[in-house]
Structure 1
């Protein structure tokens, strides 16, 4: 079972509900991945035999993309991945789990004060799997 097809989980956890099949993602974002199923645990991550790779079409026009976000992305402390709709979020603890390395990360204070199941940042909207940032600090 696809770990992201489970939808809203009990206990304040948020997981997106959308078609995450490889063809749907390629059509939506111009992204082709080297695998068809995302590992759902740390053990499965260690058992990956196909190299993790993606081919992104950078000039593809995406009609549903929001205006560039005028702040820096929220990054994973483990691998440097960015907060996205495929992350699971625990609203009570104000923690998000990176889908790449399964590391749990605390939201920065300005996110933690305002985030809730009813008040999601743009990065967690299911329809915005591709966003652009206007970086506010030097060094990216």
Structure 2
């Protein structure tokens, strides 16, 4: 098992998939739940308002938008763009058409890979009495 230091708090933790320790993951989730609750209560709030009211950075709110956890309703001059084609989007990293294209490309690549066989595997039978 690989161990890493958490970049947020410095604690040593067993690295599985998250780049931060379990304690910081819980803190991050609690922070997101606070943002989510605020946005539910104030659906027309701007990113700057949410940031100011909750005392969190606008970068963190952009991160939630890019992860697909939040969605822009009124963009008040703020615009997310598709990472692939540059079209305006309201959440995530890709527009609908690029998402469909990427899924098709990945599906095709997976099928190509699964049909290719590289070499063969054999078993070795030992003769009795010889080691």
TM-score range, shorter chain: under 0.3
TM-score, structure 1 normalization: 0.21
Higher relative contact order (CA closer than 8 Å, sequence separation 6+): 1
Q: Which has the larger radius of gyration?
A: 2
Give the number of the structure whose residues are more often helix, by fraction. 2
TM-score, structure 2 normalization: 0.22
